């Protein structure tokens, strides 16, 4: 469920999809953890955006609120604990979690339009009205849409490993991003990451074990067995058969 994504704008008349799912500050060039690539955008996924985005989608629009965070109590029509998944890919884990746990509200962020369309269709089939999706850059959503200390949990499953050394700077888990996550987690909140790249797991430990406000539940440079709330993916199963490792890291906000 990585951050390498394509903006598949299937319908030229759909102005929302025709725009890039993030904004660039004039005169500022940021290092991003994803690249946008044209992906195959099916008619079914386009219909999902047309029919289901008003129900499950959230447009990134902090300027419309005077720069204030979004009122998620108003969005969901209730006050509940909230889980954020960053880079949900095709939405398999997010859909599973929402079906298993209707007591919490779920927010997903993904820049890959086909994956968003696929999950929209699944949510429509499930009737999971306690889920909302952003088709936007996760850092900007965190900074401008989500209030500090408001998240019960943040999940980042299999982010793009950017395995070439010269590209490591593009990895999502960096000190500045970790500090942002700490700000957004509630005092009793939890951060859950998973990766199948040992080198990236090492970087996650380097960054997160040194981040003030986070405590590794398994101890320094420790990891845990896959928790029940994260389903094992097809690719993960295949990788394990080939001898590939998977590292689940759990951190508590302290």
CA 195 centroid distance within chain: 14
**172/203 Cα distance (integer angstroms):** 11
Q: Which residue pairs from 18-24 have beta carbons closer than 8 angstroms and sit at least 24 positions apart in sequence? A: 21/60, 21/111, 21/113, 21/135, 21/136, 21/137, 22/60, 22/111, 22/136, 22/137, 22/140, 23/60, 23/137, 23/140
> Which strands, in side-by-side order, build the sheet including 82-86?
57-58, 131-134, 105-109, 82-86, 151-157, 185-195, 247-253, 214-216
User: Parallel, antiparallel, or unpaired for β 214-216 and 247-253?
Assistant: antiparallel
CA distance 243 to 237: 10
Catalytic residues: 160
What is the DSSP code string of 49-115?
HHHHHHHHEE---GGGGTTPPP-HHHHHTS---EEEEES-TTSHHHHHHHHH-TTSEEEEE---HHH
């Amino acid at each position: 469920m990585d951050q390498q994504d394509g903006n598949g704008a299937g319908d030229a008349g759909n102005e929302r999809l025709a725009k890039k799912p993030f904004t660039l500050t004039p005169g500022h060039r940021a290092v991003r953890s994803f690249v946008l690539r044209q992906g195959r955008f099916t008619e079914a996924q386009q219909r999902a955006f047309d029919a289901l985005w008003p129900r499950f989608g959230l447009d990134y629009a902090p300027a419309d609120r005077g720069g204030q965070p979004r009122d998620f109590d108003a969005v969901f029509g209730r006050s509940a604990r909230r889980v954020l998944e960053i880079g949900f890919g095709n939405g398999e884990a997010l859909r599973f979690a929402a079906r298993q746990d209707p007591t919490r509200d779920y927010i997903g962020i993904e820049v890959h339009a086909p994956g968003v369309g696929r999950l929209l269709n699944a949510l429509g089939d499930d009737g999971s009205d306690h889920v909302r999706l952003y088709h936007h850059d996760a850092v900007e959503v965190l900074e401008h849409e989500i209030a500090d200390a408001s998240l019960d949990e943040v999940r980042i499953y299999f982010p793009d490993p950017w395995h070439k050394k010269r590209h490591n700077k593009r990895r999502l888990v960096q000190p500045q991003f970790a500090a942002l996550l700490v700000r957004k987690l509630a005092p009793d909140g939890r951060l859950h990451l998973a990766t199948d790249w040992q080198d990236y797991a090492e970087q996650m430990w380097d960054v997160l074990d040194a981040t003030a406000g986070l405590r590794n539940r398994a101890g320094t440079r420790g990891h845990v067995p896959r928790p029940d709330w994260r389903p094992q993916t097809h690719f993960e199963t295949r990788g394990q058969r080939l001898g590939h490792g998977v590292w689940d890291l759990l951190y508590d906000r302290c």
